[in-house]
Chains A and B, each alone.
Chain A
C-alpha cells in the first residue's frame, strides 16, 4: 500500500514542468470565467435550476483538476462533459417529452397560452370611438400615431372644453400620450423622430400593417387598436375574458365557460377546445394512444416489422455478396485483382447521402415527360414505378443498400479470410476434405468469429439508417389509410422524424414516446448480441 502511494507521488511530482502547470491553471481559469458568466446570465433570466447545475459542474471540474491523484477522472472528464450534455441529457429530456403533450398548439407555458388567447380572438366593440390614424415608422418598427377626438357635442348639453389627444404605440408598447405631434387638419400626421408612411406605401405593405395590434394599455382586457384601412383605427376587445381566481375563460358573446383540462387546454362543457393550449405532463397518454388507436397502432406495427426486415435483409445481402466477391477475388492465380478491388469499393468511398439522392434520380419516373435512367437504360423505356409502388419501393431500397454496403463487407471479409492461416487449409486437404467442406467446416466458422460483431453493428446501423430512407423514398409511397404521415418504406426512425417535423400537427410528445420504444429495442439488441459474440469468442 505504502509502495503504491510512493509511486503515485513520484508520478505527481514528475507531472510536468512549470509551464504545464501554468497552462493548466490558465485553461481552468478560462473555463471557470465562462461558467461564471453563464451562471450570472442564468440568474438574471430567473433560471435558478440550470444556474445551480452549471455551478456544481464548474466546482466539480475545478476539484478534479486541482486535486492530486484521480488521474482517470482527469482524462475522462472532457469527453464526458459533451457526452452528458449532448447524449445523456438529451436522451433523458426526450424521454420526458414522451410523457408530455408537447406538439403544435401545445408548445408554451399556460401563461403564454392565456395571453395569446386573450390577444388572438379580437373583435371590434360596436359603436366604439374612431381614432384618426397615421402610420409611422422608426427603426423598421411600425407605430400607430392616433388622434382621439373630443366626444361629439350633444345638442342642449353644454360640452366641457376639450382638446384632441394624441397617442403613439406599437405592437409591443401600449399607447402613450405625446404632445409634440405635427397636425394636418384635425389629425396628427407626423411625429419628430418618426417617418410617416405615405398612403401608397401603406397599400404596398398592407398585410404587414393590417396584422398589427397595438395594446390600449398594459392590461390586455382593456383591448387593443387595429386598423382596416390605414387611416383610422378602432378599439378591439378580446372575445374571451380570463378569470384568474376561478382559472376559467369566458366567451363574452355566448357566455360559454371554458375550464382547464388535464390535457393542457381550456375546454367547454360541450367538449369544445380553445387553441392554443399549453405544455403539460400527460403521463402515459402518448403510449396509450400509440397502442389503442388503430390508425396509429397498425402503421406502427407495419413499420416495426419492416424495420427489422430491412435491417436484417440489408445485412444478409451485403454480407453474402461481399463474402462471395472476397472468396472469388482471393484466388492468387487471378490477374488484375487489384484493379477489381479498387473499382468494387468505390461505392463505399462515395458519400452515402449523395449516393442515395443519385439513385433517387435514376429510379424516378414521377413526371410524365421524363422517365428515369434505369427504366430507359435497362428496361427499354418501360414505365416501372420503382419508388411509387409499395412493394417495388422496398425492393429498390434493398437494392440501393446492397450497392452501398457490399464493398464494406467485401473489405472486411477479405481481411478476415486472409487472416486465416494457410496451414489449416493444407491440413484439411491432406485429411481429404473437399473444398466445400473446408469452407463450410473450417473457414466459415473462423470467419464468423471476427465478422459477427461487425454484422451486428451493420444491423444496428441499418436499423437507424435514416439518411437512406429519407433521401431515397422519403418513406413513401404514403399510406392513405394511416392516421399519420407514414409510408410503406418508413422505418422507425424516419417515422419518428416525420411525426415530429413533417406533419401538419407536429406531435413531439408522440414522437418522443416512440423514441423511448426504439431506445429500448436498440439496447435490447445490443445487450443480447454482445453476449452472443462473447460466446462465439469463447467457443474458439
Chain B
C-alpha cells in the first residue's frame, strides 16, 4: 500500500478500494450506461455492417462477418438510381431552404423584438398556431398550386428544386420566428439606441449589428431546418418525379420500397454516406442546438 505524507508529516493511508461502495456510487451507473450504449449503437452497427456485407443482406447473426465495398460500388455506379445526384440535390435544397428560412425568420423576429405595432402579440401567436398545421396534409392543394405556377414559370413548377424550396419556405416563420424572437430579446436594446444616435438606419442596425450578435441562434435554426428538409419524404416525393432531380430521402426509399425486391446492401451503403455529414455536423454543434431549443421555453 502506497503511503502519502502530508505537510505536517502525518501519514495518510489511501482509502481502501471498496468494490461494494464503488458499485453503489458509480459502478451501477456504468453497467446501466453500457446497456444503453449498446441500445443506442446496435442499429447503427447493423447498418454499417450491412453496408459492408457483399452478399447484400445480413444473413448471419454476426455483425461484420464479411467485409467488402461491393455495396458502395453498386450504389455509386447504378445509373437508374444516381446517388451522387441525389446527394447534390439534397444539399442544394437543404442549404437553400436553410438560408432562406434563417433570412425570412430573422427579418420577422427583428420586427417582433424591436418594433412595437398593433397586433404584435397576436401576430406572433398566430404564426405559431398556423404553423401547427403539417404541410404534408395540404399536399394535394400544394401540388395544384405548383402546377399553376409551373404553367407560367416552368422553372418553378413540378420537378424544380427552386419550387420545392419555395414550398418549404412556407414554413419558414412560425416556431423558428418564436425561437429567434426569444434570442433577439436577449440582445440589449441599448446597442440599437447607440447605433441609432450614431446615425445608423434600421436596415444597417439589422444587417451589421443585430445579425452578428444573434449568430448562434441563426446557426441553430439553419441546421434544424436543413435536417428537417433533408428528412422530408412526402412533399419531395410528390414534387420531384425525375430520378435526376430527386433527393436522398426519396431516392434511398426506392431501394427498399419494392415489396418483392429490396436492395438492402446498396441502401445501407447509401444510408451511411448520407448520414455521415449530418451526424458529424450535429455532434459538433449539439451544445448550441440544445441551447437553442430550450432558449424559447426557459425564459
Give chain A's interface residues, CB within 8 Å of chain B.
Answer: 10-12, 14-16, 20, 34, 37-38, 41-42, 45, 50, 71-72, 75-76, 78-80, 82-83, 85-91, 93-94, 97, 102, 325, 328-329, 331, 333-336, 340, 342-355, 357-362, 370, 373, 376-377, 381, 403, 407, 411-412, 415-416, 419, 450-454, 457, 460, 464, 466-467, 470-471, 493, 496-497, 500, 508, 511-512, 515, 518-519, 522-523, 526-527, 530, 533
Contact = CB atoms under 8 A, between A and B. Distances in A.
Label chain A's interface by main secondary structure.
Answer: helix
Interface of B: 25-26, 29-30, 32-33, 36-37, 39-41, 43-44, 46-47, 50, 57-61, 103-105, 107-108, 110-111, 115, 117, 120, 123, 125, 127-142, 144-145, 148, 151-153, 166-167, 169-175, 177, 196, 199-204, 206, 227, 230-231, 233-234, 249, 252-253, 256, 262, 264, 267-268, 271, 274-275, 278-279, 282-283, 286, 290-291, 293-294, 296-298
A31 B286 CA distance: 39
B37 A87 contact: no
A256 to B, nearest CB: 35
Contact of B43 (A20, A86, A403): A403
Contacts of B200: 14
A27 to B, nearest CB: 13
Contacts of B153: 34, 38
Contacts of A325: 36
Given A16-B204, A357-B267, A41 B132 contact: no
Nearest to B259: A366
Given A357-B267, A415-B290, A508 B50 contact: no
Contacts of A38: 152-153
Contacts of A11: 196, 201-202
28 contacts: A41-B151, A71-B111, A75-B110, A79-B169, A83-B172, A91-B130, A91-B133, A102-B140, A333-B25, A333-B26, A334-B29, A334-B30, A342-B283, A344-B37, A344-B40, A352-B231, A353-B249, A353-B253, A358-B46, A361-B47, A362-B43, A373-B58, A373-B61, A377-B61, A450-B297, A493-B137, A522-B133, A526-B132
Interface centre among B130, B134, B278, B298 (most CB of A within 10 A): B134
B278 A86 contact: no
Contact of B151 (A10, A45, A72, A87): A45
A72 B110 CA distance: 9
B133 A519 contact: yes
Nearest to A522: B132
Contacts of B293: 412, 454
A450 B148 CA distance: 45
B29 A328 contact: yes
Contacts of A466: 134, 136, 234
A24 to B, nearest CB: 9
A340 B37 contact: yes
B141 A334 contact: no
Nearest to A102: B140
Contacts of B60: 376
A231 B136 CA distance: 51
Contacts of B167: 86
Of all A-B residue pairs in the complex, the 7 with the closest CB atoms, nearest first, are A86-B170, A15-B201, A93-B141, A75-B111, A79-B104, A90-B138, A376-B61
Contact of A450 (B136, B145, B267, B298): B298
A184 to B, nearest CB: 43
B136 A76 contact: no
Nearest to B170: A86
Contacts of B58: 373
A50 B149 CA distance: 11
A335 B26 contact: yes
A50 B148 CA distance: 10
B26 A411 contact: no
Contacts of B267: 357, 361
B252 A354 contact: yes
B145 A89 contact: yes
B152 A350 contact: no
A493 B134 contact: yes
A42 to B, nearest CB: 7
Nearest to A50: B148
A96 B39 CA distance: 47
Interface centre among B61, B136, B152 (most CB of A within 10 A): B152
Contacts of A407: 40
Given A45-B151, A349-B282, A352-B231, A87 B131 contact: yes
B294 A42 contact: no
A511 B137 CA distance: 9
A87 B61 contact: no
A346 to B, nearest CB: 6
Contacts of A350: 44, 275, 278-279
A512 B104 CA distance: 29
Contacts of B278: 349-351
Contacts of B286: 345, 349, 411
Contacts of A340: 33, 36-37
B261 to A, nearest CB: 11
A513 B266 CA distance: 40
Nearest to B118: A72
B40 A93 contact: no
Contacts of B282: 348-349
A102 B297 CA distance: 42
A349 B290 CA distance: 12
A451 B290 CA distance: 12
B298 A403 contact: no
Nearest to A450: B298
Nearest to A512: B140
Interface centre among B138, B233, B234 (most CB of A within 10 A): B138
A20 B203 contact: yes
A513 B138 CA distance: 11
A80 B167 CA distance: 13
A79 B105 contact: yes
Contacts of A518: 137
A87 B231 contact: no
A116 to B, nearest CB: 19
Contacts of A72: 111, 115, 117, 120
Contacts of A88: 130
Given A82-B172, A352-B231, A15 B43 contact: no
B132 A97 contact: no
A9 B156 CA distance: 40
Contact of B37 (A15, A343, A362): A343
A343 B40 contact: yes
Given A83-B130, A351-B275, A411 B290 contact: yes
Nearest to B104: A79
Contacts of B135: 86-87, 90
A485 to B, nearest CB: 15
A77 B33 CA distance: 50
Contacts of B36: 325, 340, 344
A117 B37 CA distance: 64
Contact of B294 (A328, A344, A347, A412): A412
Given A334-B26, A361-B262, A376-B61, 10 more contacts: A76-B107, A79-B173, A85-B166, A86-B171, A91-B138, A343-B37, A346-B40, A452-B297, A493-B137, A523-B129
